[in-house]
Every structure is written in structure tokens, then in C-alpha cells.
């Protein structure tokens, strides 16, 4: 007998506001491996969505699918951003349409200073936040603008990776485990900055193993389990639902 609780009944489909980012019945594969198994969810403009689930649930694959990286390959489904069909675009077109993925490994470019890492992101139009505005948001980066990016601390590298995404004209910020390996005091700092970015109107999807920290920040949460959505609702609902947290988040 399957005694797994059915949390899908909590699905929050009541909102009538048009979604800013809409993922509909997305199925993705790494070669023959079927990973993202029919994922649908909406993100509204200016919202922070926490995309949660255990290790291997398919969170990174979902972000990579939305960013059109090609690996995994999206074989079915639609992804709409601000009325534009991302599912018909290559990754560079998706990026130009305002999608920015900050990967788990941050990918700071060796041999370049902090400032050069940011300037490189501004080579291709449309250009987003100015250096001045980015340094205001991340004073640590301003102080270290002439320092080689890869010599920064882990937290500062994460800040640089986020700043680099904002240096392009961004509509949706996709963050893959931004708090990984960082001290709580640095997590606090990045959390404050993400809140500040939200207040400026940014739409964000945050994937985090540290689910409690992500839920504190997020308006809504989607929980994945083996490539399917098992919960879609408010962050508060997840924090208040012990059974759900124990089953899918181990918290
Ligand atoms: N490049 C890949 N090739 C084949 N399978 C992969 C690849 N990357 C991830 N997977 C598999 O896809 C599943 C989901 O992985 P992932 O999206 O990284 O999960 P999460 O980010 O939630 O930990 C896992 O079973 C993982 O082993
Ligand atoms: Mg992952």
C-alpha cells in the first residue's frame, strides 16, 4: 500500500494574476535518463520562489532546463518568460531575454579582476545594472574591484556571481544553492542583499539545501521529488507543515 501523503492537494492554483515565468509540463532528459518528469509551476513578477527537495530530486536539472542549457534536453513542455517562448530558444537567446542562472560552482573567470568579471557580462547588450549600482549593492565587491575574482572568499565569489548576473539586463534570477559552504553570517549578508534585489522588483528562483533559510526569504515554495512536483504553495505552509518537511526536506 502506498502510504505516502498526498500534498498535491495543497497546490496553490487559486492565483489569477498572470504568471511572469510559466513552466508547463516540462520533461527533460540526460541522454536516455528521464529526469524532469512533467514539471509545471508559475512564478509571479517580483516574487521569490524556493525550489526545494532532497539531493537528486531534480532541482538543478529544472533550473538548467529553464535556462535552456541543452543538458538536460527538454523534450516536451513550454517555458514562457514575460510572454516570450523560451522553449523555442537556445541558451544565449534565453539569456538575452533576461534569464540568468548562477550555477552552484559560481564560475568566476580566472585571471580577471572583480571588475573585469563584471565588465565581461556587460559586453553584450542589453546591459543591466551599472558597476556603480552593483558596488552599492555589494560594497565588498567595490572594495575588491582590482582583486582577481578567484582569490575572493567563497561568500564574496557568490556575491560576484550574483552581481555578474545582474550586470546583464535580468528579468529572472536563478540561484543554485547560493549558501553552500558559507558561514551563517555570510548567508545573512547574502539574504539581505537578495531581499534588497527583490525590493527593486527582481523575480527570483532559489534552490537551496538549507530549506529553512530559503523559506525565510521566499514567498512561495515548490517541492520536487524524483523529478515531479509534490507541493506548490506558500513558504509559510511549508514551515508550518511538519509532515511535509520531514517527508521531503528532512528538516
Ligand atoms: N549530467 C547528468 N547525466 C545523467 N544524470 C544526471 C546528470 N546530472 C544529474 N543527473 C541525475 O539527475 C537526477 C537529478 O539531479 P539534480 O537535478 O542534480 O538534482 P538536485 O539538484 O535536486 O540534487 C539525479 O538522479 C542525478 O543523478
Ligand atoms: Mg543540485
Give the CATH number for residue 51: 3.40.50.300
Q: What is the pTM of this model?
A: 0.92
Q: What is the DSSP letter of 168?
A: B
Ligand positioned closest to the Cα atom of 228:
1
**140 within domain boundaries:** yes
CA distances to 79, 99, 123, 172 from 83, rounded to whole Å, are: 10, 13, 26, 13
Same domain, yes or no, for 159 and 115? yes
Sign of CA dihedral 224, 225, 231, 234: negative
**Which pLDDT does position 18 carry in this prediction?**
65
**Which pLDDT does position 128 carry in this prediction?**
94
In sequence order, the β-bridge partners of residue 168 are 127
User: Considering only CA atoms, which of 231, 216, 179 is closest in space to residue 9?
Assistant: 231
Terminal CA-to-CA distance of the chain, rounded, Å? 25
**3 within domain boundaries:** no
CA distances to 2, 11, 49, 190, 205 from 41, rounded to whole Å, are: 25, 10, 10, 26, 11
| Ligand 1 in reach of 59 Cβ (< 6 A) | yes
Q: What is the DSSP letter of 229?
A: E
In sequence order, the β-bridge partners of residue 234 are 220
Same domain, yes or no, for 186 and 94? yes
Same domain, yes or no, for 44 and 18? yes
SS3 127: strand
Residue ending a domain, among 135, 170, 205, is: 170
- Output the CA 55–ligand 1 centroid distance in Å: 9
As a whole number of angstroms, the distance between CA 134 and CA 123 comes to 16
- Output the CA 170–ligand 1 centroid distance in Å: 26
Instruction: Enumerate residue ranges in the chain where pLDDT < 50.
Output: 1-15
Could you read off the pLDDT of 191-210 as tens digits, one per residue? 999 999 999 999 999 999 99
**Domain extent for 224:** 8-98+171-248
| Ligand 1 in reach of 202 Cβ (< 6 A) | no
Same domain, yes or no, for 85 and 182? yes
Q: Where are the beta strands (DSSP E) in 110-241?
A: 172-176, 203-207, 220-225, 228-234
SS3 36: strand
As a whole number of angstroms, the distance between CA 211 and CA 245 comes to 9
Are 174 and 66 spatial neighbours (Cβ–Cβ below 8 Å)?
yes
**1 within domain boundaries:** no
| Ligand 1 in reach of 61 Cβ (< 6 A) | yes
**48 within domain boundaries:** yes
Closest residue CA from atom 6 of ligand 1: 30
**Which pLDDT does position 125 carry in this prediction?**
81
**30 within domain boundaries:** yes
Same domain, yes or no, for 41 and 80? yes
**237 within domain boundaries:** yes
Same domain, yes or no, for 79 and 31? yes
Same domain, yes or no, for 159 and 201? no
**Which pLDDT does position 17 carry in this prediction?**
55
Ligand positioned closest to the Cα atom of 64:
1
Same domain, yes or no, for 160 and 177? no
* Atom of ligand 1 lying closest to residue 62 CA: 17
CA distances to 17, 76, 142, 169, 198 from 122, rounded to whole Å, are: 33, 33, 17, 9, 21
Same domain, yes or no, for 93 and 177? yes
SS3 37: strand
| Ligand 1 in reach of 30 Cβ (< 6 A) | yes
* Atom of ligand 1 lying closest to residue 57 CA: 22
**152 within domain boundaries:** yes
| Ligand 1 in reach of 56 Cβ (< 6 A) | yes
**2 within domain boundaries:** no
As a whole number of angstroms, the distance between CA 159 and CA 162 comes to 5
Same domain, yes or no, for 117 and 15? no
Same domain, yes or no, for 18 and 141? no
**Which pLDDT does position 40 carry in this prediction?**
97
Same domain, yes or no, for 40 and 84? yes
Total domains in the fold of the chain: 2
User: Considering only CA atoms, which of 74, 71, 91 is closest in space to residue 23?
Assistant: 74
| Ligand 1 in reach of 72 Cβ (< 6 A) | no
- Output the CA 57–ligand 2 centroid distance in Å: 8
Amino acid at each position: 500500500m502506498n502510504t505516502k501523503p498526498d500534498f498535491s492537494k495543497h497546490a496553490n492554483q487559486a492565483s489569477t494574476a498572470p504568471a511572469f515565468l510559466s513552466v508547463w509540463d516540462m520533461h527533460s532528459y540526460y541522454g536516455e535518463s528521464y529526469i524532469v518528469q512533467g514539471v509545471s509551476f508559475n512564478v509571479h513578477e517580483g516574487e521569490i520562489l524556493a525550489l526545494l527537495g532532497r539531493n537528486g530530486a531534480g532541482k538543478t536539472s529544472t533550473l538548467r532546463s529553464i535556462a535552456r542549457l541543452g543538458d538536460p534536453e527538454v523534450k516536451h513542455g513550454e517555458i514562457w518568460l514575460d510572454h516570450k517562448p523560451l522553449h523555442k530558444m537556445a541558451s544565449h537567446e534565453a539569456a538575452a531575454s533576461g534569464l540568468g542562472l548562477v550555477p552552484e560552482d559560481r564560475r568566476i573567470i580566472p585571471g580577471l579582476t572583480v571588475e573585469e568579471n563584471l565588465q565581461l557580462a556587460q559586453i553584450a547588450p542589453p546591459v543591466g545594472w551599472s558597476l556603480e549600482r552593483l558596488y552599492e549593492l555589494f560594497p565588498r565587491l567595490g572594495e575588491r574591484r582590482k582583486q582577481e575574482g578567484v582569490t575572493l572568499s567563497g561568500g564574496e565569489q557568490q556575491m560576484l556571481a550574483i552581481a555578474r548576473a545582474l550586470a546583464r539586463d535580468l528579468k529572472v534570477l536563478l540561484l543554485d544553492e547560493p549558501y553552500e559552504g558559507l558561514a551563517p553570517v555570510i548567508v545573512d549578508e547574502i539574504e539581505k542583499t537578495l531581499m534588497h534585489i527583490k525590493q527593486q522588483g527582481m523575480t527570483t528562483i532559489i534552490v537551496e539545501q538549507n530549506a529553512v533559510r530559503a523559506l525565510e526569504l521566499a514567498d512561495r515554495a515548490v517541492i520536487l521529488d524524483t523529478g515531479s512536483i509534490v507541493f506548490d504553495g506558500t513558504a509559510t505552509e511549508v514551515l508550518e507543515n511538519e509532515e511535509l518537511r520531514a517527508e521531503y526536506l528532512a528538516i
